[in-house]
Structure 1
Amino acid sequence: MRNEETSAGGAGATRRIARHAATLAYDDLPPALVELTKQCVLDTIGVTIGASSLAPEARIVAGYVGDLGGKPESTLLGFGAKAPAPWAVFVNGSLGHMLDYDDLGGGHVSIVTVPVALALAEKSGGMSGRDLITAIAAGADVMTRLTLAIRIPDWTMTEGWFATQLLGFIGGAATAARALGLDAEQTENALGIGFNQMSGSRQMAVGAATHMRSMQAGFSGQGAVMAAELARRGIIGSKEILEGRYGLFKTYVRTSEPDWDAIVGDLGARFPLLDTHGFKVWPACGYTRPTNAAVLELRKELDLGPDDVESITVVGGTRATQLLSEPLDRKRRPQESIDGKYSIPFTTAVMMVKGNVRLLDYTDEGLSDPAVLAMADRVSYRAEGAFPDVVGGSSSVSRPTVEIRTRDGKLHARKVAHLPGDPKQPVKREFLEAKCRDCVAFSAKPVSARNVDRVIEMVWNLEDVSDATEIVRLLS
């Protein structure tokens, strides 16, 4: 039965999105999106495997799933063991964000879509590289469109939701449905089942960061696979989950009508991920990037060393900038890896002292580095007027000013125009290859350099791969 009340401008939106995800074909994808999707696959594989030994919580999550047993359908990346596909996605999606090195855009789309697609490819067997690319692109497009449709300034902060987990249930379900070959009606049911599992509060990131922040995509990816599998077997999901009386926007985004054109406009012809996606060049929360980039520029231009710096002040930015900067005493002394990655004072200090931010800077040894901690004591934050109206909650539009006061009394200020890794300053394949090798070197179950090279080659030629599962086999 049709809901009694729907958003007039969004009539039929859920059905149109479902049909889009179900019928999207590889030949519909522009070459730039094919290339970007392959880059997302390589990047996600690397950061996921790297977490298997670098993130303390990784063994807990993988160990729990291992204890559950069940059909060995899909691989736990970095560990080599197998588990039922939904549980493998739970592990791989969780590990994908534990290093905070995964990509950006309309939420962290790849740590939802890539684990889902890889796990179902492995379970099903024989999925071509083209089908893998298409399934990932379908889910990423749906998830990105939903994010861009929310017209509330800085909505993930003001409304209190975490976009990756919340919207990942829908974007992930779109990927899972496409990977399983569901028709439009089944896909609509999968989206509806995913919707009824939705969750994802930003409370997990308030104060001392928690492991829930790392595991957000694990929950949504697992739920997405379950949603598609249940829909395939005949379970009927909620209808009109976008436009309905109790749908996504009326339940989770109550203070603003969504931009319906962002959701359903030019489906199959326009792919907004191309304009919003970015790769991380440093392993920390995306909102640390503007300060990292500004400090690095000033450090190089002025030939500054730690002893030259009297103080560093981060000024303004967005609500997220403030969240990552306060309370100052806690942010200067992170106790866990996830705390350090979610701290602007600490990460700024690392960049000032070392001229880079690397994976090992967030290990126990890195968190206790005396030189970094001494510099962190000189980093502070100052809000300046009202926060700007940032629509979509993307870290790419956060632009705080960094002020460095040197020992000679001079004040140097910098606000960067573009961030490395974003569409206007994209990374090259060579960077992603090096990043992947660096991450995979920390695999809990070692992977040979030869196999890593073969995986990289396969990903770059994914459209010609007959069985995408071979990628996972080489890594396990």
Structure 2
Amino acid sequence: MTMTNRDLSQDLAEFAANTRYVDLPLGAVEAAKKSILDTIGVILGASGMEPAVRPIVELVTDAGGKEEASILGFGGRVPAAAAAFANGTLAHGLDYDSQTPWGAHPDSSLVPALLALAERKGSVTGKDLITAVAIGQELFIRLRCNVGWNMDWNLSSVVGTYSGTAACGSLMGLTAEQIAHSLGISSLTAGGTMEQIFGVGSDVRGLYAGFIAQSCVNATLLAGKGMHGMQNLFEGEAGIFNVYFGGNFDRAKMLAGLGVDYLSEGMTYKYWPAVGNAHTYIHAAIELVRENPFDAADIAEVRVYVGNFAERMALPLHARQAPQTMMDAKFSLPFTVAVALVKGSMLLSDFSIDTLKDAEVLSVASKVVPVQDAELNWDLKLPDGKVEVQLRNGQIFTRRGSDVPGTPERPMTVEELAKKFDDCARVSIRPLPTDDIDRVTTLLWGLEECNNLTEIIELVR
């Protein structure tokens, strides 16, 4: 912790206000474009695949209001904050959205908020959108990696509120002073604990991104109208760092190389529609089946070795072995590992009401038990998981989930991201035809050449 007379909010605001497209390295530009494509894709997928998002879509549709921005997939236009609320909800609804190499999700709140404001403002170019996304991602990562986190607050909510609001200020052309004020305004809604992640039976685990996106839009518009926030938001006596993180933060690391070094170049994109911490176990299970073909009926027990976070994905064990909702299924280590072992793969279609009742998957899930291993604790970098399958004949197969697809060690290719977008667009509430899918993909890969986002929005709304 370092105390200065200048609150961190001012530094973050100046970065957001002063950064231009020409300042971005190629890696940050490419990461932003990938994130926009990926986020729009998973929004479309959730519109057709996740029933838990429907109440929020219905709420904003029923409320109506000034037609400023689109609800993607469903169509219809509503006020910008309401569109951000709906689209943010959709973006994290499948738990298929991008994440940083250190976990947590900036894009599912960031991109919906920016798209809503872009429609409201009009005449926003592709370069404007890319720049704002890059700003938001960079600030998110620097905050996420340099605070003392005890798995108490939901970092995606707490951190994402500020990084998303700063990015929105950039898109809307606010001054550094106005952006600093907007950060203070958005602090009134920054929160949410990890119980929404660890608990079972709730719909909100996948929906928090909508609340963040809505807050980012409202705070930005209010600051633009002259509303002031607090001056010592982060480092004041009762500021964010003291209250949320016990005064444990590293200001110097947050600002080191800001505007020069872009950590956002390492953004990762999910290969499977499940919580990111489960991917190493999913990969291990899939590879076990590939390397040692066996029949799922021959499995006697499956041991998943877990650290402090992964253990939460396996407890309470009975509830995790037989999840009752698709959101719970995607956070269940027994269930996701069982799907991987039974099917030898994992597809978007594997998370459906029918799969929750699949007798073969449930049988294997009932045999999955957690084994504590402190070496697999999640400190900053996501640890490699370990899966051990014991057959009825006594044979034991063990695999670590290393070189996981969709991680910095094995990033998704452009072709794989395009295929993921295609898969999601085809299960939208209103499936996109092939020509439209191809056109959207082409436009987004060349987004820096786009002078108006209207055609893209019209194709996916």
Q: TM-score, normalised by structure 2?
A: 0.96
Alignment of 1:142 with 2:139, yes or no, is yes
Question: In the TM superposition, what are the counterparts of 1:329-340 in structure 2 within 5 Å?
Answer: 329-340=318-329
TM-superposition CA deviations, 1:198-249 (whole Å, max 9, x none): 1111121233141111111111110111101000010011122222212111
1:343 partnered with 2:332: yes
**Alignment equivalent of 2:80, drawn from 61, 82, 85:** 85
Whether the 8 Å CA contact 1:146–1:262 is kept in 2: the answer is no
Give the RMSD, CA atoms, in angstroms.
Answer: 1.6
Query: Distance in 2 between the 1:248 and 1:407 partners?
Result: 53
One-letter code aligned to 1:204? Q
**SS across alignment from 1:413:** strand
Check the 8 A contact 1:325/1:344 in 2, yes or no: yes
Q: Is residue 116 of structure 1 aligned with residue 113 of structure 2? A: yes
Is structure 2 residue 349 aligned with structure 1 residue 357?
Answer: no
- Residue 394 of structure 2: aligned partner: 409
Q: Could you tell me which of 243, 253, 257 is aligned with 1:262? A: 253
- Correspondence list, 1:276-425, <5 A: 277-316=267-306, 318-384=307-373, 386=374, 390-392=378-380, 397-425=382-410
Residues 342-362 of structure 1: CA deviation (Å, up to 9, x unaligned): 100011000000011222222
Counterpart amino acid of 2:408? P
Q: Match for 1:273 among 240, 252, 264?
A: 264
Match 1:69 to one of 64, 71, 86: 64
The 5 Å alignment of 1:3-42 reads 7-8=2-3, 11-42=6-37
Shift of the alpha carbon at 1:261?
Answer: 2.3
For 1:214 and 1:353, the matched residues in 2 are separated by: 25
- Structure 2: unaligned runs, 5 residues or longer: none
What displacement does 1:260 show? 1.3
How many angstroms apart in 2 are the aligned matches of 1:250 and 1:307?
Answer: 53
Task: Look up the SS of the partner of 1:71 in the other structure.
Answer: coil
* 1:252 aligned residue: 244
- Mapped to 2, the partners of 1:216 and 1:265 lie a distance apart of 30
Q: Which amino acid aligns with 2:115?
A: L
State which drifts further: 135-144 or 205-214.
205-214
Alignment deviations for residues 89-136 of structure 1 (CA, whole Å, 9 cap, x no partner)? 000001111111111115211111111111111111110000000011
Deviation at residue 462 of structure 1 after TM alignment: 0.2
Name whichever of 61-70 and 191-200 sits farther off: 191-200
Letter in 2 for 1:322: E
1:198 corresponds to? 190
Q: Determine helix, strand or coil for the equivalent of 2:436.
A: helix
Give the one of 155, 173, 194 matched to 1:163: 155
Once the two structures are aligned, what percentage of the paired residues are identical? 34
Task: For residue 58 of structure 1, report the CA deviation from its aligned partner.
Answer: 2.1
Residues 361 and 367 in structure 1, CA contact (< 8 A), matched pair in contact too: no
Q: Distance between the aligned counterparts of 1:423 and 1:78, measured in 2?
A: 30
Number of aligned residue pairs: 459
- Please name the residue that 2:216 is paired with: 224
How far does residue 388 in structure 1 lie from its aligned partner after superposition? 5.5
Q: 1:427 aligns with which of 412, 415, 424?
A: 412
User: Shift of the alpha carbon at 1:447?
Assistant: 2.3
Among candidates 172, 186, 191, match of residue 164 of structure 2: 172
Structure 1: any 5+ residue segments left out of the alignment? 1-5
Q: Aligned letter for 2:30?
A: E
Q: Report what 1:48 is aligned to.
A: 43
Q: Aligned letter for 1:107? A: A
Mapped partners of 1:68, 1:387: distance in 2: 50
Alignment partners' CA distance in 2, 1:115 and 1:469:
15
In the alignment, the residues of structure 2 paired with residue 10 and residue 125 of structure 1 have an alpha-carbon distance, to the nearest angstrom, of 38
Q: State how far apart, in whole Å, the 1-side matches of 2:383 and 2:434 are.
A: 38
Whole-angstrom distance in 2 between the partners of 1:238 and 1:12: 10
For 1:23, the aligned partner's letter is: N
Quote how far apart the aligned CAs of 1:9 are: 5.6
- Distance of aligned partners of 1:54 and 1:389 in 2 relative to their CA distance in 1, 3 Å threshold: closer
Distance 1:234 1:445, change over 3 A: same
Contact 2:308 2:378 in 1 (8 A): no
